[in-house]
Amino acid sequence: MSAVELFKVTCVTCQAKLSVRDAALIGEIVACPRCESMVLVEAPAAVSSTIPLINHVEKLVDQPASPALESSQVDAPAAEAPASAETANVKVPMAAASSKVILWWIAYFAIGASATTAFLVLRQQVEPEPTVVAGSEDVNPAEKQPSQIAEESTPPLKPTEENASKGGPGSRSPGMTSLKKPSSELEDPPQSSPTPPSTEPSEELVTKESANPTESLTQDIPSPKLVVESPDEPRIARKFDPLRYDLEQMDLTNLGTTDEAEQSTTSLPNQPPAEEVEAWDKQDPAEKLAVVRLSDDNSTQIATRSAEPQLEYAVPSLTLKDMPITDFLDLIGSLAGVPISVSPIELQMAGISPSKRVSLDAQEIRLDEALAKVLGPLHLDATTDGPQVVIVREAASRIRKIDYPIDDLLGAQTTAEDFGEWIEKLVAPETWANAGGIGKITATPTGLSIEQAQGVHYQILFFLERIRLSKQMPLRSRFPARLLVAKTLGLAIADRVSAPTTFTFTHETPLAEVFRYWQSEMGLAVLVDWPALANANLWPDSRITCSITNEPWHAALDAVLTPLGLGWRASPGGTIQITSQAIVDIEPVLDIYPANQWQATANGEAIVIQDPANELVYVRASAEVHRKLLDR
């Protein structure tokens, strides 16, 4: 005998209606198939009285037929025999069995009628009255088809305050949305519901249902053992500022019901208020992407410290193995309580990358001694300036004279004298003799003899070797080719900074932690110019809150850094340097562009030199100008 639906229970978590078809589940705690929450199966009073009778009938059906009934089915003899005592004994069990079968059928119909009545009573108590749609035709109920009456008697559920507080159908879930979407956006309707969400049936839906009332009769609908009923209405999240809520102490049942949330509009995505759209269009693009706030209490003790005594602090033991050098500098800076900076060009001159691994195992060692042990073999030196520690290439100011062979870079239209003039304009122009500096260049038919500081020699070497990389020519020095890029600095990191990102710092977070998070998520080394940030009164422990939702990294960096007076720029070695916006806008950077991709024109802010022999363009301009040139 197929299972009969006894009654329904409602999941208090997701409001799903669960059909109970086994009396053995009464009093048990089962898992909801939709949300996996625990549901107590309790029978209503109207159904409880019929359950013992149902159990009795099921036991009777499951029992095997009695031997007396089986004996009555034995074939009679061909000729009638006179009635005897044995024949009378056979007829009596047959009559008793027939009576018992009749009683079983009567009990079966009685139980079915009782269960059906109880189900209808419970259904009327749980489901709301049918909603009347304004403007719909008044059809006589007697003229309606059965399928139409059944469909109109179960309208979509309205989202109630009780459901909203329990997270049921129609409830809002801003706690989950806060993190995936900006505060000014509403959730898009799911793909299965192309029409705007509504608490009442639409006229289009009523017309569709009444067009083919018999369509449901021609379809075979399976009857699963457990039925989960859910509305088709999408959830709509209220607008809220993600930076005003503490996620760890957020009350999800009250979120969106405060005075501030009630004042915010909750219009649909395709029907925004006119005033809101107009104000949104007038905002700056950076303000659309992020909400950035600097802590009101930006006071810090770092500004009053001196780096030298802080580095004299001794630690009992310091052991590290294969740690990236940038992480090592962050560790020493945290122990000393002062910022430590290193620029990408200084690491490049030392012939190392930001991912260079270092190791140290020492006992009772001062922090300045630990720096010297690690940085000394790498030809780096730690210098101090007030509360700042800056890592530089050692002996960078030492004067040297070096001969550079450039015969492979010369051509009919390019001579060694041309290269000498270009270098004086593009590489540290303030350090040459014609500008009052010490640098001198002597051209030979196949090369250049240059007397200059060692730091400038490295920049000349990088310039010439990058030209060879761009032309796919062999290098003339032993400098690692992996630390040089043939592409433009901005193009070398374009794939990473164009990838989308989403992050939210709701708690006031130190800048140093935010920058470390960016580095881990982008997969690029992020080097911070802390002396430049100190001019804007920003330090590693300065705290900010910020939020970005599904924007490319370059736009996210602009949106967070610009309100703080900061900026970023592509740097040698495939790195990013964070510095002040003034440095990004003013300090020049030398870069190389292919001539066939060059479409920009020279302006007063940039020095542009065409090299017809190598089909390249050399540009010395600020990082901001380079970004504008690439955008063209």
Mind listing the pLDDT tens digit for each residue in 8-19?
888 888 888 888
Average pLDDT, the chain: 73
**Which run of H or E residues covers position 111?**
helix 85-126
Question: What does the pLDDT read at residue 203?
Answer: 38
At 111, the pLDDT band (50, 70, 90 cuts) reads confident
**Which run of H or E residues covers position 227?**
none
Q: For residue 576, is pLDDT > 60?
A: yes
pTM for the full predicted model: 0.57
Reported for 70-76, long-range contacts at CB under 8 A and 24+ positions apart, including other chains, are: 72/97
Q: If you average pLDDT over each of 129-138, 153-162, 492-501, 588-597, which comes out highest?
A: 492-501
Q: Comparing 302-393 with 489-631, is the CATH topology the same?
A: yes
Q: Are 613 and 413 in contact (CB under 8 A)?
A: yes
Q: For residue 614, is pLDDT > 60?
A: yes
> Alpha helix (H) ranges present in 240-284?
259-263, 274-282
Q: Which of 300-304, 404-408, 556-560 bottoms out in mean pLDDT, i.e. has the lowest? A: 300-304
- Round to whole Å and give the CA distance between 577 and 561: 12
Closest to 444 (Cα-Cα) out of 405, 472, 488: 405
Question: Residue range 287-315: average pLDDT?
Answer: 79
Sign of CA dihedral 267, 268, 269, 275: negative
- Round to whole Å and give the CA distance between 493 and 21: 62
CA 514 vs. chain centroid, Å, equals: 16
Q: For residue 204, is pLDDT > 70?
A: no
At 197, the pLDDT band (50, 70, 90 cuts) reads very low
Q: Are 268 and 196 in contact (CB under 8 A)?
A: yes
At 114, the pLDDT band (50, 70, 90 cuts) reads confident
Rg of the chain taking only CA atoms, in angstroms: 41
Give per-residue pLDDT as tens, 54-64: 555 455 545 55
Q: How many CB atoms lie within 10 A of CB 311?
A: 23
Lookup result for tokens 């210098």: 383
Pairing, β 543-552 against β 293-294: antiparallel
Question: What does the pLDDT read at residue 55?
Answer: 56
Closest to 516 (Cα-Cα) out of 540, 482, 499, 537: 540
Q: 67 versus 609: which is more confidently predicted?
A: 609
Question: Residue range 187-192: average pLDDT?
Answer: 38
Q: Are 225 and 20 in contact (CB under 8 A)?
A: no
Question: What does the pLDDT read at residue 605?
Answer: 72
CA 529 vs. chain centroid, Å, equals: 28
The CATH label, of 1.10.10.10, 3.40.50.1970, 3.55.50.30, 3.40.50.300, for the domain at 489-631 is 3.55.50.30
The SS3 call for residue 457 is helix
Q: What percent of the chain has pLDDT over 90?
A: 46
Q: 191 versus 422: which is more confidently predicted?
A: 422
Give per-residue pLDDT as tens, 556-570: 999 999 999 999 999
Q: Which of 33-42, 226-235, 484-493 bottoms out in mean pLDDT, i.e. has the lowest? A: 226-235
393, two tokens? 């290439």
Residue 147 class from Cβ within 10 Å (0-12 exposed, 13-18 middle, 19+ buried)? middle
Q: Are 480 and 439 in contact (CB under 8 A)?
A: no
Q: What is the DSSP string of 73-86?
A: TSPPPSS-----HH
Question: What does the pLDDT read at residue 446?
Answer: 93
Give per-residue pLDDT as tens, 325-374: 999 999 999 999 999 999 999 999 999 999 999 999 999 999 999 999 99
Where would I find the beta strands (DSSP E) of 553-597? 566-571, 575-580, 588-594
- Round to whole Å and give the CA distance between 432 and 490: 28
Question: What does the pLDDT read at residue 575?
Answer: 95
Q: 115 versus 254: which is more confidently predicted?
A: 115
At 270, the pLDDT band (50, 70, 90 cuts) reads very low
Residue 318 class from Cβ within 10 Å (0-12 exposed, 13-18 middle, 19+ buried)? buried
Q: Are 9 and 39 in contact (CB under 8 A)?
A: yes
Secondary structure (H, E, C), 588-621: EEEEEEEHHHCCCCCCCCCEEEEECCCCEEEEEE
| Cβ neighbours of residue 84 closer than 8 Å, sequence gap 6 or more | none
For domain 302-393, give the fold.
Phage tail protein beta-alpha-beta fold (3.55.50)
**Which run of H or E residues covers position 187?**
none
All structural domains of the chain with their residue ranges: 1-64+100-127, 302-393, 399-476, 489-631
Question: What does the pLDDT read at residue 309?
Answer: 93
